[in-house]
Structure 1
């Protein structure tokens, strides 16, 4: 018998993770969302994965454009995470947060610890989400403390 979804979600809340915002572009349309499901896949070649809910606008834009960026947030970017997680201003997220275009025009969140610009090389539909594998084609880095999420709230390293 499968585990109950509430127990599954409570189990996942016990995982300490960094916080990422995934942004995407297809033509003139851009969007982004806070994503907890992110991981490195390979160092050679540099590959990452993100999981996007198939009902989300960001998912559709990644699927159509084949491009995304993983923006790993710094400890002072809790408001950025909240903006991209909220449905209140979904149409205005990129108006509310400073960003600059990457090499392919994908939005890169200003002030992030890392901006990893990616081209989709594979996509796998599983359950409610699509697992996108991205070839990292550009990276921007900054030294700062990371934004951390655990047990339903933001934390810091201290």
Structure 2
């Protein structure tokens, strides 16, 4: 294999596109983020990296809460808008219908098929960004996107981000924790 060096960068082949829901000065706000992932399984935690200068970072600091909302492919324009316009200049809450759960300060977008309501566990200074680690206090999912009492990715149709483009997920390949068993010696 002929490899080339590209220099240090936080390359990930694909990332989920999420809307980070926050409240600042009593107003709901949504910011698009691609740097979000699972942080811990027990207790359930997720994390999202947000530039320190972003309006959303200030909102998380104010309330110690946020939500991660998973838009579907039909919502790509609204999702992109929330990433290119600052909540400091525009009221982006009008793009989505906000609802609130147990924490009362983490707005969630009703139109998104899956929403995670989070309490801030810790913010880690990583340089240009703060890594916000949130404990998931509740997950909300549309009944229409469920299979066997769990969100079904084929029904959610989440937006994935890679190299400045949005993508839909492809077809399933193989079952995790099963496909690799063909290499197990018997």
Using the size of structure 2 for normalisation, the TM-score is: 0.72
State the distance in 1 between where 2:7 and 2:157 align.
31
Tell which structure's C-alpha radius of gyration is larger.
Answer: 2
2:90 aligned counterpart, secondary structure: helix
Larger relative contact order (Cα-Cα within 8 Å, sequence gap ≥ 6): 1
Tell me the distance in 2 between the aligned counterparts of 1:64 and 1:132: 13
Is the CA contact (8 Å cut-off) linking 2:67 and 2:107 kept in structure 1?
yes
Residues 82 and 42 of structure 1: is their aligned pair in 2 closer, same or farther, counting only changes over 3 Å? same
Distance 1:31 1:97 in 2: 9
> Match for residue 113 of structure 2?
113
CA separation of 1:7 and 1:139: change in aligned 2, threshold 3 A: same
More displaced stretch, 87-96 vs 19-28: 87-96
Residue aligning to 1:97: 96
**Contact 1:50/1:132 (CA < 8 Å) preserved in 2?**
yes
- The offset of 1:8, in angstroms, is 5.2
**Aligned equivalents of 1:18, 1:121: Cα separation in 2:** 21
In terms of fraction of residues, the more strand-rich structure is 1
C-alpha separation in 2, matches of 1:125 and 1:88: 21
The alignment status of 1:129 with 2:141, answered yes or no, reads: no
SS, match of residue 91 in structure 1: coil
- Runs of 4+ deviating beyond 6 Å: none
Deviation at 1:7, TM superposition (A): 5.7
State the distance in 2 between where 1:92 and 1:33 align. Answer: 11
TM-score of the two chains, using structure 1 as the length reference: 0.84
> Which residue number in structure 1 is paired with residue 161 of structure 2?
149
Closer, same or farther: CA 27–114 of 1 in aligned 2, 3 Å? same
Partner of 1:3: none
TM-align CA RMSD: 2.2
Aligned to 1:66: 64
> Judging changes above 3 Å, is the alpha-carbon distance between structure 1 residues 134 and 88 closer, same or farther for their aligned structure 2 residues?
closer
Alignment of 1:78-93 (within 5 A): 78-87=76-85, 90-93=89-92
Check the 8 A contact 2:15/2:36 in 1, yes or no. Answer: no
| Residue segments in structure 2 that go unaligned for 5+ positions in a row | 1-5, 146-155, 171-186
